[in-house]
Chain A
Amino acid sequence: MRILVLLKQVPDTDEVKLDPENGTMIREGVGTVINPLDLHALESAIRIKESGEHELTVVSMGPPAAEEALREAIAMGADRAVLLTDRKFAGADTWATAKTLSAMIGLEGPYDLILAGEKATDGETGQVGPETGAMLGVPVITYVSRIIEVGEDGIVVEREVEDGRETWKVPYPVLLSVTKNVNEPRLPTLKGKKKARNANIEKMGSEALGLEPSTIGLMGSPTRVVKINTPKLSRQAKLYEGSELIEGIARLKALLKPYLEVNHE
């Protein structure tokens, strides 16, 4: 079986800066790590790979610095890593990202099982997985919290939704997005790290993928960030400090008092 994991690299820092011009993230100067939620997808894939004769590829779209994140995936157990990198990919929204990823999958495909994390910790949209699935025309199961059985003719998974837990069986090819409940990602071993250091990260640009500039990057993105602003003081807080605190507590008490009475009647 051929397994593919979609990885996003996120900056290895808590403090992200935004470009005030176009509202995209400034990624230069900080190392990158695999989006923590994608690690669960990668772990799922590695476990499946280890259970039989399967080939595991990871793919990411991003700047050259994203290599670092892909090396970590190899250190953990991926067989090969592909970085989709091209200046023309810059500024892509989720649609253009999915377009680029699905072009790579179309070119290399077919993959039997495609795994993605629930969402990225920076953008928090969770859209690239289902968008890619729809572009490829494969079934999509999101919010997978458990992989129950990886069979010859399909995969059985559990998904967690608002009102309960569903168990689905889907034949390959299929795209799954997993939540962090699905497993605990492993740490890479020293041996893995050494192997990853010299591993070849395959790179593909827009030409190799046969993508028109009008369908990728900022140009190919239907959405535009038009304004970035720090939310203005939406509320003017009355502040209580030092000796006024007692007054503040009294006000809070008065505010909550009606609920107290309701509850004790």
Chain B
Amino acid sequence: MKYNSLNLELLKELQSMLAVPIKYDEETLERYSRDETAELKAVKPEVVVFPVSTEEVSDVMRFANRHLIPVTPRGAGTGLSGGAVPAFHGIVMSLEKMNRILEFDAANMMITVEPGVITGEIQKLADRHGLVYGGDPCSSESSSIGGNIAENAGGNKVMKYGPTGYHVYGLEVVLPSGEVTRLGGKMIKDVSGLDLIHLIVGSEGTLGIATRITLRLLPKPKYSVALLIPFPDIDTAIAAVPKLMTGSGVVPTSLEFMDASSIKAVCSFLNMEFPYADAGAHLIVEVEGSSKDSVFDDYVKLGESAIEAGGLEAFVADNRNTREKLWKARKSIAEALASISPVHCMEDVSVPMASIPELIKFSEEIARERGLEMIAFGHAGDGNVHVSFIKGDMPEERWNEALPLALEELYAKTTGLGGCISGEHGIGLKRKKYLASITDRAQLDLIRGIKRAFDPSYILNPGKIVDL
């Protein structure tokens, strides 16, 4: 693609339509050319803009169309696939200043927000009103809802509540042309026209920019209990997942797993101890309910089924002290990983649940063959595994050689198991070339066709997911 670049005059024009100063100093450009994807090769934008209203977003898109300048929309910059960093310079549109809660509608159990609101703030607000927002990515304290929607973020409560898309009922979207459209609303049912909301959700900011978001809230369960269950090995742990559900008749809210290396990493990072630290794997199983007694019955059944299925012990965290400690460990693995080895590659493959052990064993093998270190953790209940390769002390040249080969093998294996290469982090820049190699032609053409229908001049987040 050939785009125009921004000269001083264009920058002036851009500034004239925006309330907040645009930025193009080196440090800002550098900062907005990165997200949290380790080792990503992206390019710097020429300017970063901070719109504060739908109108401003729309004006910038019209401007970009007029002058043929690419626009990369961006939330809080916590992405893990390079979705919010430019592939072609141009404009980075940061939505961080559109961070207002527009309406809290208790009667309809709906909340309407701007895209820059931090997800954790939505969770806290809902909580104060006795409600729950079901989306819960590990990054909830720092990621914004707009970004969650772009990636259809999953997280820890997908078992019960589903990923981000399950909670989105209404969207105001600025299309790449600058036109504004409103999709859905506060209706729970809606088959009037195509389900464009769920085409936008997960489209990684390539089809439009959500500027007003209506989310459904649910009643908050009064009690939650988390169980920590060590297993001798990954196989037993994963095989126990369906057994503990059918054995107990309970659908947990969360069902997470951590392998021995993950536990080791997080314990050293947080300077904490874990029981059975040398076990092959740990499951965290969380269950919610409306009364203490019912939750007790549920967790006892879950725990006993888990032990029957080979669990070494079941530890119970049923209050603030202990639950926070457990979840802190689970949610800190990514940070722990970054502290052990800033150079690493956290993957996001998703397979049918029962295939997790095979996938992990295979990953261990390819890591061993190539001299890489590896840890694995993720969402056992939904088959989403964060296989992560670690560079450690390996010389850079060898890492650069070994990693792509390992990834190719990992993705091939994932597809072979009937899985997909990203469950919740997205394709972005990081996995673009791999997606093209494993997706059939008809589907790739369809994706391209949809992109063209939305964005004929190819200016909104170009170079992501697939190339035209």
At the interface with chain B, which of A50-58, A183-191, A219-227? A183-191
Binds B, one of A20-28, A32-40, A81-89, A148-156: A32-40
- B272 partner residues in chain A, CB cutoff 8 A: 184
CB–CB A187/B273 < 8 A? no
Indicate with 1 or 0, residue by residue over B306-317, a CB within 8 angstroms of chain A CB atoms. Answer: 010000011111
A257 proximal to B (CB < 8 A): no
Shortest distance from the beta carbon of A195 to any chain B beta carbon, whole Å: 12
Shortest C-beta distance, A140 to chain B (Å), equals 26
Q: How far is the CA of A166 from the CA of B316 in the complex (A)?
A: 36
In the complex the two chains form, is B321's CB within 8 Å of A34's CB?
A: yes
In the bound complex, how far is the Cα of B270 from the Cα of A184, in angstroms?
Answer: 12
For B314, the chain A residues whose CB sits under 8 A away are 189-190
With a cutoff of 8 Å between Cβ atoms, the chain B residues found around residue A72 in the complex are 319
On chain A, the residues within 8 Å of B303 by CB distance are 190
Q: CA–CA, A224 to B316, complex, Å?
A: 40
> Taking the complex as formed, is A13 at the interface, i.e. its CB lies under 8 A from any CB of chain B?
yes
Q: Are A33 and B319 in contact (CB under 8 A)?
A: yes
> Is the Cβ of B228 less than 8 Å from the Cβ of A187?
yes
Contact of B321 among A33, A184, A189, A190 (CB under 8 A): A33
**CA gap between A199 and B372 in the complex, in Å:** 51
Q: Is A104 an interface residue (CB 8 A)?
A: no
Evaluate contact between B322 and A190: CB separation under 8 angstroms. Answer: no
B contact residues around A184 at 8 Å (CB): 272-273
**Beyond A194-B300, A197-B296, is A188–B315 a contact (Cβ under 8 Å)?**
yes
B316 touching A193, Cβ below 8 Å = yes
Q: What is the bound-complex CA distance between A197 and B318, given in angstroms?
A: 13
Residues from 169 to 201 in A contacting B, C-beta threshold 8 Å: 184, 186-190, 192-194, 197
Q: Confirm or deny: A75 has a beta carbon within 8 angstroms of a beta carbon on chain B.
A: yes
Q: Which of A186, A189, A190 has the most CB of B within 10 A?
A: A190
B418 at the interface (CB under 8 A from A): no
Which residue of chain A lies nearest to B299 when distances are taken between CB atoms in the complex?
Answer: A190
Q: Does A202 contact B (CB under 8 A)?
A: no
Contact partners of B300 in chain A: CB under 8 A? 190, 193-194
B66 within 8 A of A: no
From A196, which residue of chain B is reached at the shortest CB distance?
B316
What is the number of residues of chain B that contact chain A, defined by CB distance less than 8 Å?
A: 23
Q: CB distance A189 to B313 under 8 Å? A: yes
A34 to B321, CA, bound (A): 9
Q: Which residues of A contact B313 (CB under 8 A)?
A: 189-190
Q: Which A residues touch B319, using CB under 8 A?
A: 12, 31, 33, 72
Interface check B2, CB cutoff 8 A = no
Q: What residue of chain B has the Cβ atom nearest to residue A75's Cβ?
A: B316
Cα-based distance from A193 to B315 in the complex (angstroms): 9
CB of B278 to closest CB in A, whole Å:
16
- Give complex CA distance A33, B339 in Å: 33
Contacts of A188 in B (CB 8 A): 315-316
B304, chain A: closest CB distance, angstroms = 7
B371 within 8 A of A: no
Residues of B within 8 A of A75 (CB): 316
Complex Cα–Cα for A104 and B314 (A) = 35
B320, A190: Cβ atoms closer than 8 Å: no
What is the CB-to-nearest-CB distance from A255 to chain B, in angstroms, rounded to a whole number? Answer: 23
User: Quick check: A190 and B304 within 8 Å, CB to CB?
Assistant: yes
Chain A residue at minimum C-beta to C-beta distance from B293: A197
Residue B244 at the A interface, CB < 8 A? Answer: no
Q: How far is the CB of B218 from chain A (nearest CB, A)?
A: 21
Known: A39-B321, A184-B272. A190 touches B316 (CB 8 A): yes
A13–B299 CA distance with the chains assembled, in angstroms:
22
Measured between beta carbons, the chain B residues less than 8 angstroms from A190 are: 227, 299-300, 303-304, 307, 313-316
Q: Which B residues touch A14, using CB under 8 A?
A: 320
B275 lies within 8 A of chain A by Cβ: yes
Q: Which residues of A contact B320 (CB under 8 A)?
A: 12-14, 33
Determine the chain B residues whose CB is within 8 A of the CB of A187 once the complex forms. 228, 275, 315-317, 322, 325-326
Name the interface residues of B275-303: CB closer than 8 Å to any CB of A.
Answer: 275, 296, 299-300, 303
Nearest chain A residue, comparing its CB with the CB of B307 = A190
Closest to A187 in B: B315
Closest to A193 in B: B316
Name the B residues within 8 Å of A31 (CB-CB).
319
Chain A residue with the shortest CB-CB distance to B267: A184
Which residue of B is nearest A13, CB measured? B320
In the bound complex, residues from chain B placing their C-beta under 8 Å from that of A189 are: 313-316
Chain A residues within 8 Å of B307, by CB: 190
CB distance from B55 to the nearest CB of A (A): 18
For the complex, give the distance between the alpha carbons of A197 and B228 in Å: 19
Contacts of B296 in A (CB 8 A): 193, 197
B273: chain A residues at CB < 8 Å are 184
Of all chain B residues, the one with the shortest Cβ separation from A72 is B319
In Å, the complex CA distance between A205 and B144 comes to: 53
Q: How far is the CA of A192 from the CA of B317 in the complex (A)?
A: 12
CB neighbours of B275 from chain A (8 A): 186-187
Q: What A residues does B315 contact at CB under 8 A? A: 186-190
B269 CB to closest chain A CB (Å) equals 14
Q: Closest residue to B227 on the A side, CB-wise?
A: A190
In whole angstroms, how far apart are the Cα atoms of A197 and B225 in the complex?
A: 15
Task: Report A206 CB to chain B, min CB distance, Å.
Answer: 29
Contacts of B228 in A (CB 8 A): 187
Shortest C-beta distance, A75 to chain B (Å), equals 7
CA distance A11 to B181 in the complex (A): 48
Report how far A33 CA is from B318 CA in the complex, Å.
10
- Encoded as 1 (CB less than 8 Å from any A CB) or 0, chain B from 225 to 238 comes to 00110000000000
Q: Closest CB of chain A to B288's CB: distance in Å?
A: 15
Sample (18) of A-B pairs whose CB atoms are under 8 Å apart: A12-B319, A31-B319, A33-B319, A33-B321, A184-B272, A184-B273, A186-B315, A187-B315, A187-B322, A189-B313, A189-B316, A190-B303, A190-B304, A190-B314, A190-B316, A193-B316, A194-B300, A197-B296
Besides the contacts A186-B275, A188-B316, A190-B300, what 16 more A-B pairs have beta carbons closer than 8 Å? A14-B320, A31-B319, A33-B321, A36-B321, A39-B321, A72-B319, A186-B315, A187-B315, A187-B316, A187-B322, A190-B313, A190-B314, A193-B296, A193-B318, A194-B300, A197-B296
Closest 9 CB pairs of A and B: A187-B315, A190-B314, A184-B273, A190-B303, A33-B319, A193-B316, A12-B320, A36-B321, A12-B319
Interface on A for B, CB 8 Å cutoff? 12-14, 31, 33-34, 36, 39, 72, 75, 184, 186-190, 192-194, 197
